[in-house]
Amino acid sequence: GSKKLWGGRFSEATAASVEAFSSSIDYDSRLYKYDIAGSKAHAEALAANGVLTQDELTAIVTGLTEIENEIESGSFVFKPELEDIHMNIEKALIDRIGPAGAKLHSGRSRNDQVAVDFKLYLRDQCDALVGLLDDIRRAFVVLSRKYIGRVMPGYTHMQRAQPVQISHHMLAYYEMFSRDRDRIIDCRKRLNLSPLGCAAMAGTGLPVDRMRTSAALGFSGVTANSIDTSGDRDYAIEFASCCTLIQLHLSRLSEELVLWSTEEFNFVNISDKFCTGSSIMPQKKNPDIPELIRGKSGRVVGSLMSLITLMKGLPLTYNRDMQEDKEPVFDAVDTVSASLAIMAELLGNLSFNTEVLAKATESGCMTATDLADYLVMKNVPFREAHGIVGRAVAYCLDNSKELADLSLEELKQFSGEIESDVFAVLSVEGSVNSRNSIGGTGFKRVEEAVTVAEKQVGIG
């Protein structure tokens, strides 16, 4: 016969190959705390309605606490033949306290149990990610205050576009990670409904007070439909998609840091502490950390793809396929958390080469748009102004000059509307200073934006 907790209807023991293939204990042991918390809440609800005596409840709670301590101290032995974290803990409890332990699973299925564990785990991970996102947001705010008033080239199509403030560029990332923070908080809200009491998929006839277990576990309420609940992994997919956006933002930042730290750009210096050397080329200082973060985005995107693909063809409700939901989520959590933490640290050790950046804004006719805007203010239709400035730029290219180098006479060849007040417009300072539309790179706007961000992250 079978020695499994579910072995009654089986006349043969499970094949060793099946046990090895189907066991998830190697990775779902990570959920032990949540499994124990869920079991304690469930036992208390059973006792409140007379399914367990007070003595049985005490034995269960004490036994579970002891098991938790053993897991934490490393002395607990996980058994692959017991499949997963749920069975490992339940079996250990029964071995320890006897019949009371065997009553714990009344009115419960592993289907609602695993959903409770996973949701409680993800709730904690959401809170941890908000903390890590706050650290990186703070790092951008510190950089934006430090470099306020300093300029750099802004790019579109990787071509020099318009001069901007370094702080403005840093605050762009601040906005991206702030949206990520909002998304995680939103994800947490939606997942924080208790599955416990949905049992296998149809609910339970035993007196398990769902409101009671939900409150005990800190859920904000209970899920509405037991069929939906047993088959739902939307919350894991939503969480992984939040992780994907975070990693994507980190990856784009990494790409810029790799580029900016090349000799060709030389815009930033990443501190030696965050770089590594070459085993052959003595002169090398490589930006491995941003490179690895950029590379690791493949893992996070892969996790999201795994989860989506896993769920797409599944009929309601629970299917064993769904055990494959954990490793991608755990890998996404580990990757995103480690990447956020080290990037925040790296940003604290990053310096901008402000002179190189300022010099870079002085070539490439980057104030051409300003000249066109100047003509617009002199009543020249914008499309006409665009053509005039385009011809002036072509003249600059032919003569190896910058717009700001041209004399008034040279400029007047392109339009009679150009007067001596044009030079204020053609300077980098003048260009940046003029862009005071809401969200623009003007000095006044960026100063305001830095101050707002400082308040939001609790600095200053």
Please give the helix or strand (H or E) that residue 352 lies within, else none.
strand 350-352
117 binds ligand ARG (CB under 6 A): no
89 binds ligand ARG (CB under 6 A): no
CB 101 → ligand ARG: shortest distance, Å?
A: 19
DSSP state of 452: H
- Choosing from 2, 22, 278, 351, which is the catalytic residue? 278
24 binds ligand ARG (CB under 6 A): yes
114 binds ligand ARG (CB under 6 A): yes
Of the candidates 9, 157, 273, 320, which one interacts with ligand ARG according to CB under 6 A?
Answer: 320
CB 124 → ligand ARG: shortest distance, Å?
A: 18
Q: At what angle do helices 234-260 and 110-146 cross, to 10 degrees?
A: 30
Asked whether 363 and 405 are in contact (CB, 8 A), the reply is no
CB 121 → ligand ARG: shortest distance, Å?
A: 12
Is 157 part of the annotated catalytic residue set? yes
Which of 392, 393, 376 has its CA nearest to residue 384?
A: 376
Question: Closer CB to ligand ARG, residue 56 or residue 84?
Answer: 84
Residue carrying the six token digits 């002395």: 75
Question: Which span (107-115, 134-142, 149-157, 258-266) binds ligand ARG, by CB under 6 A?
Answer: 107-115
Phi, psi for residue 156 in degrees, rounded to 5: -130, 150
Q: Helix or strand or coil: residue 194?
A: strand
Question: Which span (150-158, 271-279, 318-326, 352-360) binds ligand ARG, by CB under 6 A?
Answer: 318-326
Question: Closer CB to ligand ARG, residue 111 or residue 192?
Answer: 111
Which one-letter amino acid corresponds to residue 426?
L
CB 297 → ligand ARG: shortest distance, Å?
A: 27
125 binds ligand ARG (CB under 6 A): no
Site for ligand ARG in 161-220 (CB under 6 A): none
SS3 content of the chain, % helix, strand, coil (to 5): 65, 5, 30
Distances (CA, A) of 377 to 114, 265, 422: 66, 35, 11
84 binds ligand ARG (CB under 6 A): yes
Question: Which span (110-118, 162-170, 174-182, 247-255) binds ligand ARG, by CB under 6 A?
Answer: 110-118
- What's the length of the chain? 460
SS (H, E, C) 357-388: HHHHCCCCCCCHHHHHHHHHHCCCCHHHHHHH
Asked whether 286 and 278 are in contact (CB, 8 A), the reply is yes
- Choosing from 157, 279, 400, 437, which is the catalytic residue? 157
Is 168 part of the annotated catalytic residue set? no
Distances (CA, A) of 388 to 28, 219, 343, 363, 376: 67, 64, 45, 19, 11
Which of 78, 36, 86 has its CA nearest to residue 61?
A: 36
322 binds ligand ARG (CB under 6 A): yes
311 binds ligand ARG (CB under 6 A): no
Question: Closer CB to ligand ARG, residue 116 or residue 184?
Answer: 116
Question: Which span (122-130, 316-324, 372-380, 439-447) binds ligand ARG, by CB under 6 A?
Answer: 316-324
**Residues acting as catalytic residues:** 157, 278
Residues making contact with ligand ARG (CB under 6 A): 24, 28, 84, 110-111, 114, 318, 320, 322-323
